[in-house]
């Protein structure tokens, strides 16, 4: 009997362990992102109705009451339920609450604050416990993601969740300089960050194309350097408060000493070459650079950072430091004489001298310096933070020398790579030659949204939903790397992001309607669903006449970087060929898509005749039709196991190679799977 009891106990333990494992990453019922550290499904569900009430206990900050009120509104909007509880404030007295949020202390919006939480859902109640109210904010987002529905109504599955972030710095950078991003754009993206538990908004506020912050000490910065597009100090305070209410820090960036043309429009006396200067309209690396050898430069920055330090409360301030060409320094005889007098051997060392002078000013105003990896220099103290954009070599070098590091290399979302690419890049990969102590210097990462090719209309489609995959990489355990499951959950999170006001889905439809010029959008939508903007820096290379006033309303601007239809087709072909899933439904789905795309060209040509803006993608429409026909032929040979002529194979592969060439700066994203079908047909 003892042995039987022991055997039963072992079996139960194994089953429970397997069930818990299932919940931690492969349970298709849960649409959580980021995936929590530990999820245990406990059976049953909590049924939601209009009597649902929430109470807060403990000692939270005021922000939590607003967050719970927003939670109730989001639940009400998604379910249509008329909750009897409308909002919550500190003086509210809630009798018999269904959900209790217990917080030990107010959290501080700062690096290394405790963001952990414990969430328990049973059939009768919900409890959310956290050390800080910021942890409770993260738990609220998980709770909202658990909402499900069936024919009986809405419910939350019974779960027990213990969760905390892997990295303390989980950021999104938005460049408001190349194209200005109004307050509403910033706010809705802060809401998106909160949904996926990101906690740092890095705000790029000065560059060659514009200076974007009201500065009362130096008003000509915006009067002459912003084209009238800038944030007032009241707007900045409003956004900082908005971010704080969501547990998000705001770190400003003023890019120095290069990327500085806009500063010199109003204040040319601080430049390394005489003016006059004008706001830059094009993209690239430009020569205007601050003069680091004159004292009046540092007097200017002392007054400037004194004002900015009061405006931005975060302990960190970003000074950029990237892409200084050094040409003005090399051409300035007085600067060269200064370098010789002070034994400064090269421009890199001169920039280090400049950075140390800035560091002294920032330290005076109780700020810590962050910069891109160009500021890493042996003379710089370990107190600075390095943001790496150039690769793992700089991460390894900085971390090994004792500098704290933020990874952005691999997270440049403006380069139009798929979510899967970003998802599989770890901030702290095993390949780095670092010991455990040095690895602790890697404090997180940031997705970077440079704005050369985005407008307020389409910026959300470039940030979301892909940034949610990066957010998971920064929050969740390192071993959660199932790409297909990530995409399954990403689709659901994208819908939730749209629910809270982001526009990555609905604005694309609006742009397509405009491109169709009042015609039926079906064919154009099907076409755009299988193309994507060219990746990397190719867009700027393929067309060099872009300026800050160029239209961002073309097919390349409506197409998204990670088109779902193209990705799903790739998976269908992969399952058919690699996983040997050759059931009738799989084959029919491949055929259905190829037939649809084969017939697009004729239908799209009708629209193009009435909408000349589409002429640039007309050749690509023909390419899609042709390669789809090739794909259908290859599929037929594979199904029937008939031998193909080698000339057909060579001609088809040549045609597919041609189809990979972009048109109108977009490229077909379904060429490779068709190519695989042809190769498989040739092997029969």
Pairing relation of β-strands 200-207 and 249-256?
parallel
pLDDT of residue 198: 98
461 and 538 both lie in a single domain = no
Task: Give the residue numbers spanning the domain of 120.
Answer: 2-163
Residue 493 lies in a domain: no
Question: pLDDT tens digits for 566-580?
Answer: 999 999 999 999 877
Q: Which of 105, 122, 123, 102 is nearest to 114 (CA)?
A: 105
Copy the structure tokens of residue 43.
Answer: 């059976």
530 and 447 both lie in a single domain = no
From 163, 184, 217, give the residue that closes a domain.
163
520 and 410 both lie in a single domain = no
Q: With H, G, I as helix, E, B as strand and everything else as coil, classify residue 364.
A: helix
Q: What is the mean pLDDT of the chain?
A: 94
Pairwise CA distance, residues 204 & 255, whole Å: 8
Pairwise CA distance, residues 543 & 209, whole Å: 19
Pairwise CA distance, residues 293 & 236, whole Å: 32
Any residues with CB less than 8 A from the CB of 85 and at least 6 apart, and which?
52, 53, 54, 72, 94
- Only one residue has tokens 């079908």, namely 677
Q: What value does the mean pLDDT take over residues 174-186?
A: 98
Q: With H, G, I as helix, E, B as strand and everything else as coil, classify residue 500.
A: coil
200 and 338 both lie in a single domain = yes
129 and 176 both lie in a single domain = no
Question: pLDDT tens digits for 28-76?
Answer: 479 999 999 999 999 999 999 999 999 999 999 999 999 999 999 999 9
Residue 294 lies in a domain: yes
Question: pLDDT tens digits for 250-284?
Answer: 999 999 999 999 999 999 999 999 999 999 999 99
185 and 102 both lie in a single domain = no
> Residue 684: pLDDT band by 50, 70, 90 thresholds?
confident
Residue 329 lies in a domain: yes
pLDDT of residue 383: 94
Q: How far apart are the first and last CA of the chain?
A: 60
Question: pLDDT tens digits for 377-399?
Answer: 998 999 999 999 999 999 999 99
In the predicted model, is pLDDT for residue 421 greater than 90? yes
Question: pLDDT tens digits for 490-545?
Answer: 999 999 999 999 999 999 999 999 999 999 999 999 999 999 999 999 999 999 99
Q: Which of 364, 280, 350, 360 is nearest to 321 (CA)?
A: 350
From 163, 187, 208, give the residue that closes a domain.
163
Pairwise CA distance, residues 252 & 314, whole Å: 9
Residue 617 lies in a domain: yes
342 and 294 both lie in a single domain = yes
> Residue 11: pLDDT band by 50, 70, 90 thresholds?
very low
In the predicted model, is pLDDT for residue 23 greater than 50? no
Residue 222 lies in a domain: yes
From 163, 191, 223, give the residue that closes a domain.
163
> Residue 584: pLDDT band by 50, 70, 90 thresholds?
confident
Distance of CA 66 to the CA centre of its chain: 25
Question: Taking CA 47 as the corner, what is the angle to CA 43 and CA 53, rounded to the nearest 5 degrees?
Answer: 120
132, with CB counted inside 10 A (0-12, 13-18, 19+), is buried
CATH number, domain with residue 283 = 3.20.20.80
CATH number, domain with residue 117 = 3.30.379.10
Q: Compute CA distances 278 → 266, 320, 372, whole Å.
A: 9, 21, 25
In the predicted model, is pLDDT for residue 619 greater than 70? yes
Residue 228 lies in a domain: yes
Per the model's pLDDT, the better-predicted residue between 2 and 433 turns out to be: 433
Distance of CA 57 to the CA centre of its chain: 34
Residue 496 lies in a domain: no
Residue 486 lies in a domain: no
207 and 144 both lie in a single domain = no
Question: pLDDT tens digits for 117-131?
Answer: 999 999 999 999 999
In the predicted model, is pLDDT for residue 364 greater than 50? yes
3-state DSSP percent of the chain in helix, strand and coil, to 5: 45, 15, 35
640 and 523 both lie in a single domain = yes
Q: What value does the mean pLDDT take over residues 366-381?
A: 95
pTM higher than 0.85 for the full model?
yes
Q: Spot the catalytic one: 108, 148, 323, 492.
A: 323
374 is catalytic: no
Q: Which of 637, 609, 638, 604 is nearest to 623 (CA)?
A: 604
In the predicted model, is pLDDT for residue 622 greater than 60? yes
581 and 630 both lie in a single domain = yes
> Residue 651: pLDDT band by 50, 70, 90 thresholds?
very high
Question: pLDDT tens digits for 455-464?
Answer: 999 999 999 9
Q: How many domains does the chain have?
A: 3
449 and 565 both lie in a single domain = no
Q: What value does the mean pLDDT take over residues 594-600?
A: 97
450 and 514 both lie in a single domain = no
In the predicted model, is pLDDT for residue 1 greater than 80? no
Q: Which of 310, 307, 321 is nearest to 359 (CA)?
A: 321
Question: pLDDT tens digits for 130-165?
Answer: 999 999 999 999 999 999 999 999 999 999 999 999
In the predicted model, is pLDDT for residue 24 greater than 90? no
In the predicted model, is pLDDT for residue 4 greater than 70? no
pLDDT of residue 548: 96
Question: pLDDT tens digits for 181-238?
Answer: 999 999 999 999 999 999 999 999 999 999 999 999 999 999 999 999 999 999 999 9
Question: pLDDT tens digits for 317-358?
Answer: 999 999 999 999 999 999 999 999 999 999 999 999 999 999
């Amino acid at each position: 009997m003892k042995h039987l009891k022991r055997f039963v106990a072992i079996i139960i333990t194994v089953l429970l362990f397997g069930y818990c494992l299932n919940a931690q990453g492969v349970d298709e019922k849960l649409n959580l992102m980021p995936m929590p550290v530990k999820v245990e499904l406990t059976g049953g569900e909590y049924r939601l109705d209009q009597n649902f009430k929430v109470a807060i206990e403990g000692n939270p900050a005021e922000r939590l009451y607003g967050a719970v009120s927003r939670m109730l509104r989001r639940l009400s909007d998604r379910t249509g339920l008329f909750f009897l509880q409308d909002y919550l404030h500190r003086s509210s007295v809630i009798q018999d609450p269904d959900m209790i949020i217990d917080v030990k202390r107010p959290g501080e919006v700062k690096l290394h604050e405790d963001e952990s939480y414990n969430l328990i859902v049973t059939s009768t109640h919900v409890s959310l416990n956290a050390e800080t109210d910021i942890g409770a904010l993260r738990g609220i987002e998980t709770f909202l993601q658990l909402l499900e529905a069936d024919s009986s109504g809405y419910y939350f599955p019974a779960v027990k969740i213990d969760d905390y972030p892997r990295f303390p710095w989980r950021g999104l950078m938005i460049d408001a300089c190349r194209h200005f991003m109004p307050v509403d754009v910033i706010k809705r993206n802060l809401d998106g960050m909160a949904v996926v538990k990101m906690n740092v908004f890095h705000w790029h506020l000065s560059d060659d194309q514009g200076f974007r912050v009201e500065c009362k000490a130096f008003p000509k910065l915006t009067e002459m350097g912003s084209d009238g597009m800038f944030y007032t100090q009241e707007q900045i305070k409003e956004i900082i408060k908005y971010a704080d209410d969501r547990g998000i820090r705001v770190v400003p960036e003023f890019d120095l000493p290069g990327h500085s043309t806009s500063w010199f429009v109003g204040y040319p006396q601080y430049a390394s070459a005489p003016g006059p200067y004008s706001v830059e309209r094009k993209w690239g690396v430009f020569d205007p650079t601050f003069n680091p050898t004159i004292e009046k430069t540092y007097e200017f920055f002392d007054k400037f950072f004194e004002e900015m330090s009061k405006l931005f409360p975060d302990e960190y301030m970003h000074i950029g430091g990237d892409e200084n060409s050094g040409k003005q320094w090399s051409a300035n005889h007085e600067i060269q004489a200064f370098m010789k007098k002070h034994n400064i051997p090269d421009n890199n060392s001169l920039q280090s001298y400049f950075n140390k002078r800035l560091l002294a000013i920032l330290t005076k105003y109780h700020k810590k310096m962050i910069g891109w990896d160009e500021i890493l220099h042996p003379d710089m103290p370990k107190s600075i933070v390095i943001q790496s954009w150039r690769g793992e070599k700089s991460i390894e070098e900085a971390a090994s020398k004792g500098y704290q590091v933020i990874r952005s290399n691999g997270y440049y979302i403006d380069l139009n790579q798929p979510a899967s690419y970003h998802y599989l890049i770890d901030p702290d990969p095993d390949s780095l030659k670092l010991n455990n102590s040095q690895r602790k210097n890697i404090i997180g990462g940031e997705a970077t949204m440079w704005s050369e090719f985005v407008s307020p209309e389409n910026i959300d489609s470039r940030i979301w939903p892909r940034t949610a995959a990066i957010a998971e990489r920064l929050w969740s355990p390192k071993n959660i790397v199932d790409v297909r499951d990530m995409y399954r959950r990403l689709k659901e999170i994208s819908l939730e992001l749209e629910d809270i006001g982001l526009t990555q889905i609905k604005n694309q439809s609006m742009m397509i309607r405009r491109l169709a010029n009042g015609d039926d959008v079906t064919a154009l939508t099907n076409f755009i669903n299988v193309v994507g903007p060219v990746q990397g820096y190719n867009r700027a290379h393929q067309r060099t006449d872009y300026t800050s006033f160029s239209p961002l309303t073309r097919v390349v601007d409506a197409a998204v970087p990670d088109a779902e239809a193209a990705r799903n087709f790739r998976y269908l072909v992969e399952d058919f060929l690699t996983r040997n899933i050759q059931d009738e439904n799989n084959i029919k789905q491949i055929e259905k898509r190829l037939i649809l795309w084969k017939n697009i060209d004729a239908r799209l040509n009708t629209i193009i005749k009435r909408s000349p803006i589409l002429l640039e993608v007309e050749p690509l429409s023909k390419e899609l039709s042709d390669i789809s026909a090739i794909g259908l032929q290859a599929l037929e040979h594979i199904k029937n196991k008939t031998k193909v002529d080698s000339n057909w194979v060579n001609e088809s592969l040549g045609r597919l190679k041609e189809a990979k060439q972009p048109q109108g700066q977009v490229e077909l994203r379904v060429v490779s799977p068709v190519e695989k079908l042809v190769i498989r047909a040739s092997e029969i």
